[in-house]
């Protein structure tokens, strides 16, 4: 995805490779993606329309959402009338808790570290790396 976004003249963020920015009409246009979800934001709707159009010319028709309430990467995002943005993760967290509680019924011991059990296993027959 990064290569395709860069070809639209976005600069990939060096701290988060799933975020890209470009300046259009003096304002920042940001694209973020996770797996097969892409979020594009800019102050002007026509700039977002242009990015969508460029993406559709490459990939065909895309489904997109322009509602004031959206779900993206586990976040419930609401663009409010007062021009603020509210981001909540309550539904996502409740789902995680439910899944953990179901999984947790099978937990029979505790561990001092979140590391996988096999993390410190050493295969004595493995070929050693060179210097």
Q: Which residues contact 8 (CB under 8 A, 6 or more apart)?
A: 22, 51, 54, 55
Quick one: pLDDT at residue 24? Answer: 93
> Residue range 98-104: average pLDDT?
74
> For residue 5, what pLDDT is reported?
62
pLDDT bucket at 35, cuts 50 / 70 / 90 = confident
* Region class of 89: left (phi > 0), else alpha (psi between -120 and 50), else beta: alpha
pLDDT greater than 60 at residue 2: no
Please report, for the chain, the start and end positions of each structural domain, with discontinuous segments joined by +: 1-64, 67-110
Tell me: pLDDT of 25 over 70.
yes
* pLDDT confidence of residue 113: 76
């Amino acid at each position: 995805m990064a290569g395709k976004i860069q070809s639209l003249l976005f600069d990939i963020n060096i701290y988060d490779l799933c975020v890209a920015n470009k300046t259009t009409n003096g304002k920042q246009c940001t694209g973020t993606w996770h797996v097969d979800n892409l979020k594009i934001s800019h102050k002007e709707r026509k700039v977002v329309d242009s990015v969508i159009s460029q993406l559709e010319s490459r990939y065909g028709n895309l489904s997109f959402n322009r509602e004031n309430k959206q779900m993206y990467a586990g976040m419930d995002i609401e663009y409010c009338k007062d021009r603020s943005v509210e981001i909540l993760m309550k539904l996502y967290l409740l789902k995680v808790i439910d899944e953990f509680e179901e999984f947790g019924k099978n937990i029979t011991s505790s561990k001092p570290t979140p590391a996988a059990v096999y993390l410190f296993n050493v295969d004595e027959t493995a070929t050693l790396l060179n210097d």
